[in-house]
Amino acid sequence: MSLITSTFEKAFGNNYPELRQLLVEFGEVKSFKKGDFIISEGEAAQGFYWVLKGGAKVSIQTKTKKEQIVTFLSPADFVGISAVMEKHLHNKSAFVLSDEAEVLFIAQQDFYTFLQRHPKVVLPLLKHIEEKIERIEKRAAQIMRTTIEQRLVYVFIMLQKKFGCDENGFLEFQLSPKDLANFIGTTRTTVYRVLRKLQENHIVNSDHKRVQILESNRLQEMLIQHAT
């Protein structure tokens, strides 16, 4: 079974046959290394991408030229769809953080040619966009109501759920203190301080390069306590 087929079945099962046909027949597998841009903010959209392997951060540049991370990509996530559908420039960047990544590229012209014959293919893509917007809005609302410590806890839970941990509990997808700060809206100094507190309580372990989850249940409890 190809990586395209296995990723699709894990994400969609036997649903959306038109989307499956589009990806299998017109998709071009592209490989990226850590530090590569999949798409760059401000560039013309040539097509959209579907992640098969690895992970990336999606970010925008604020008016003050500061990076703001809005979400992360993992296998079965799309990026660049809205720019292709609206035929405008990409309004965000996708930057590879894993050691390597494989993504499926669907050229804009191929997409529109296929769309004319199979209009139903747009339904799961629009659903994906709507779900992504809803997740981002929900996270933004949650962050506004929580402390910096709880925001960092949320990120660790999210990364553990989205990418998993190795046999020793280290997050498979590691973020630098700078990326953590840009995601939760704080400074690296504050991230270091909160990490130290979590380590002192034996909830996580960190050498500022890798984060090891020691007590998943206690991380969950910290969020539950806030919600109640």
pLDDT at 200 exceeding the cut of 60: yes
Q: How far is CA 223 from CA 143, 154, 215, 228, in A?
A: 11, 7, 13, 9
Residues 6+ apart with CB under 8 A from 210: 170, 171, 174
| Predicted local distance difference test score (pLDDT) of residue 1 | 62
Please state, rounded to an integer, the average pLDDT across all residues of the chain: 90
| Predicted local distance difference test score (pLDDT) of residue 78 | 95
65 vs 203: CA distance, rounded Å: 34
| Predicted local distance difference test score (pLDDT) of residue 206 | 86
pLDDT digit string, tens, across residues 4-31: 999 999 999 999 999 999 999 999 999 9
pTM to 2 decimals?
A: 0.84
